[in-house]
Amino acid sequence: MKSGDARVRRLGRLRVTVACTALLAIVALLSGCTLPADNPRQPPIDKNPLTELIKPKVTAAVKDGDVGISPSMPLTVAVTDGKLAQVTLFRPDNTVVNGVLAPDGLSWRNAEVLGYNKAYRIEAKAYGLGGATTTVVNFKTSSPENLTQPYLIPGDGDVVGIAQPVAIQFDEAIPDRRAAEQAIQIITDPPVDGAFYWLNKREVRWRPEHFWSPGTKIKVDVNVYGKDLGGGLFGTEDVHANFSIGDAVVLTADDNTKQVTVERNGEVIRTMPTSMGKNDTPTDNGIYIVGDRFQQIVMDSSTYGVPVNSPQGYRTPVDWATRISYSGIFFHSAPWSVGQQGYSNSSHGCLNLSPGNAEWVFNNTKRGDVAIVKNTVGGTLSGTDGLGDWNIPWQVWKAGNAGSE
């Protein structure tokens, strides 16, 4: 055999060996990539992974599983990378809470307040370039330990005097007074600075430093529904009022002259004689606020802590009574003391007037008008009497007492 033929045969065997070795390596590699028979089938790879990135993304003001949500909290749903097709808020009985979808389809909000201690479900459907999605959110509102009803004076549409404070009364003692104050919004036109002060555990007042200017408009919103006022006490409902300030009417009773002078917008319009509290039951000095008026009322000393059968007790029906203190001081008709009116004091503290003058006061005053008593032998009407707010110095009032017990 020629040496060239032997060289060709060796090269041929080498190629076969290399080829077989490479083939075995490929087979081994493929065998190593084969899934065991007992391994679960893996999901196929998304042909377009960007789809997940551009799917609509829905968010809500509450998270799934939230508990203790305030029923007064604005409930909103929003979407990015798409638009909302439909948002439905279900009550526990599967009835639907009214809501409003924005014209641009990017947001939704509830149009009804929710209830206390209830489970709700949001179903939000959205669509976009990445397809459609449905988001479900379950949540539960707060469960009050107790409820309190607020009452607001003045009432909606009232026209009141220049001394009238905003008065909010609750039927329960308020543990967290600051929370209550924060839930009350007062807007005045023109703008006026004012401050809160608590007369007691259930009643808070708001007033400016000086008497209101006639024509001022006041808007009050007591937004306590859904608010924790301390110790699990929540508001039963919100209350609102818009009222305005009328003419500046001021009645000044001077014990030196035994006369009551009435001014309207700075002009004296009437003067009338009076008989105030005698020395052992004097009328207190100070600024009073005109309150309720009664065409007829029974004056009963027991309602102010003095038994009817005691030496200072009384139970007397009177006409044309205009209240100026919660402690029982009125302008009222006292025909039995007409001879003393203008000369001496004979009452238990009230300002006695003739029937005609008492009727005039009844007909020509309004809630919030000013009554000033001066130069008596009495003390000063308490600022927490209920109609004596202006006897509390402004710096004390402005400092507030929300943190006091």
Contact 333, 358 (CB under 8 A): yes
Contacts by 308-315, CB closer than 8 A, 24 or more apart: 312/280, 312/281, 312/348, 314/348
**Does residue 350 have an active-site annotation?**
yes
Cα Rg, the chain, nearest whole Å: 40
Contact 58, 134 (CB under 8 A): no
Q: How far apart are CA 373 and CA 394, in angstroms?
A: 19
Among residues 20, 210, 240, 332, the one annotated as catalytic is 332
From the list 324, 370, 326, the residue with the least C-alpha distance to 163 is 370
Please report, as a single letter, which amino acid is at residue 179: A
Structural element, H or E, at residue 96: strand 96-97
User: Count H helices, E strands: the chain?
Assistant: 5, 28
**Does residue 210 have an active-site annotation?**
no
Beta strands in 199-310 (DSSP E): 203-208, 217-222, 233-235, 239-245, 249-254, 259-264, 267-273, 286-289, 293-300
Give the residue numbers marked as catalytic. Answer: 332, 350
